[in-house]
Amino acid sequence: MLKGKQLIFIDFEFSMPERSRTPKHFYPEIIEAGIVVVQNNEVMEKFSSYVKPTAFPKLTTRCKKFLSIKQEQVDQGISFTNLIQYFAEMNQHGKNKVVTWGNMDMKVLRDNCKKQGIEFPLVGEFIDLSMEYKKFFGDQNQTGLWKAVQEYGRDGVGNHHKALDDALTTYHIYKLVEKDKKYLEKATPPTIGERIDLSKLFNQLA
């Protein structure tokens, strides 16, 4: 990969306890990672992998049902250490701008690193696109990822709650929001004559 400014779109899926009870010391672990790397408006790399949980290796029924995921899939996934190594290597390819939908992905990544005594691997600017979206459209509440893309009259990529599909959907919304921002920046502000009817004003003053 060439060196330069790169956008990294990340989505994780996490383990979750049963609704009825939460085991002592339970915390969400990353069990699936989806990553899209973009340079100069071109997708340079896509990464998708299941990740083996270590603290609570057995997935709950709720988790498997909600994410449509099987125990065998995470059992055959990469280790969390391998995922961190992958992220660390990304830092060598240029200046990172990390984009996620919501703040949970980075929170859980930081927490998982802390629990395992591993240094947080990502360096750069961190963007919560859901907050950008909320501010841009003046929404009172944060909008879900797939609801946001549907509000643009588009469909999400693939299946919701599949990490790579959600990362790609985040990238698509990012492009749409950036396009709208540029459109507003280029819009010429109205002159005073366009804002008010000057002929009526002159008649009143006569």
Which active-site residues does the annotation give?
A: 13, 161
Tokens 């990822």 map to which residue?
145
- Grouping H, G, I as helix, E, B as strand and the rest as coil, residue 95 is coil
Q: How far is CA 135 from the centre of its chain?
A: 16
Do the Cβ atoms of 6 and 96 come closer than 8 Å?
yes
> Is the Cα dihedral 138, 141, 144, 150 positive or negative?
negative
Which residues, listed in sequence order, are joined to residue 125 by a DSSP beta bridge?
Answer: 97
Torsions phi, psi of 102, nearest 5? Answer: 95, 170
Determine the 3-state secondary structure of 167 from DSSP.
helix
